[in-house]
């Protein structure tokens, strides 16, 4: 079952993930140059390890956002599937609300960290002494996307809970094995260009 919010959320999450992927690709190339330079030429790109840490934090935020948009977060459904549809709807709504609260809290705390770095003009410990407001800004933006998307999904789930709990279970419940297999087959067909 397609979520109508995905028409907006998934393209934005995909763009953020692709940009983050390019950042990781550039970082991988820089690490390769660093390793070869140190081993054979007594040469070092200063600050590669700093940027590795920055990219890890940014990729975690963007990755969580992308995973949310594609219903990929792990859900333990052993007991959920044995419950009545009404209880499934209650727990699926609780899952979306809880994730929205967590995402909002993470974003709020990240803004606090960013403001503190800006106030004290904090720089990284590495040799480049990168001003932390720039990498933290990208991290905050990833968490902002996650918080906005999680809030939108939570509101939609609450509306569905009031109007159509069965549809709530289909859209926000854990993906079944059949749905996961069908999604993989669709992705394979798209890669191969077959209908």
Please write the tens of the pLDDT for every residue from 4-26.
999 999 999 999 999 999 999 99
Per-residue pLDDT tens digits for 57-85? 999 999 999 999 988 888 877 888 889 99
- List the chain domain ranges: 6-192
| Distance from C-alpha of 145 to C-alpha of 161, rounded to nearest angstrom | 24
Q: Are 91 and 80 in contact (CB under 8 A)?
A: yes
Quickly state the pLDDT bin for 195 (edges 50, 70, 90): low
Taking residues 110-118, report their average pLDDT. Answer: 97
Taking residues 80-99, report their average pLDDT. Answer: 93
Please state, rounded to an integer, the average pLDDT across all residues of the chain.
92
Percent of the chain with pLDDT strictly greater than 70: 98
Q: How many helices (H) and strands (E) does the chain have?
A: 6, 0
Count of residues making up the chain: 195
What is residue 127's DSSP assignment?
T
Is pLDDT of 177 > 90?
no
Query: Rounded to the nearest 10 degrees, how much is the dihedral formed by the CA atoms of 66, 70, 74, 78?
Result: 170
């Amino acid at each position: 079952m397609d979520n109508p919010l995905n028409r907006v959320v998934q393209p934005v999450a995909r763009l953020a993930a692709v940009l983050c992927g390019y950042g990781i690709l550039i970082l991988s190339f820089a690490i390769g140059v660093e390793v070869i330079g140190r081993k054979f030429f007594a040469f070092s790109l200063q600050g590669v390890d700093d940027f590795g840490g920055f990219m890890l934090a940014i990729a975690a935020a963007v990755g969580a956002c992308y995973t949310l948009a594609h219903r990929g977060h792990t859900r333990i459904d052993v007991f959920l599937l044995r419950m009545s549809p009404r209880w499934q709807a209650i727990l699926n709504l609780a899952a979306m609300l809880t994730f929205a609260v967590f995402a909002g809290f993470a974003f709020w705390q990240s803004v606090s960290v960013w403001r503190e770095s800006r106030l004290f003009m904090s720089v990284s410990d590495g040799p480049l002494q990168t001003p932390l407001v720039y990498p933290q800004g990208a991290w905050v933006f990833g968490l902002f996307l996650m918080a906005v998307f999680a809030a939108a999904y939570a509101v939609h789930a609450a509306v569905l809970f009031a109007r159509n709990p069965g549809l709530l279970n289909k859209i926000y419940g854990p993906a079944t094995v059949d749905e996961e297999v069908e999604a993989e087959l669709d992705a394979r067909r798209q890669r191969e260009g077959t209908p």
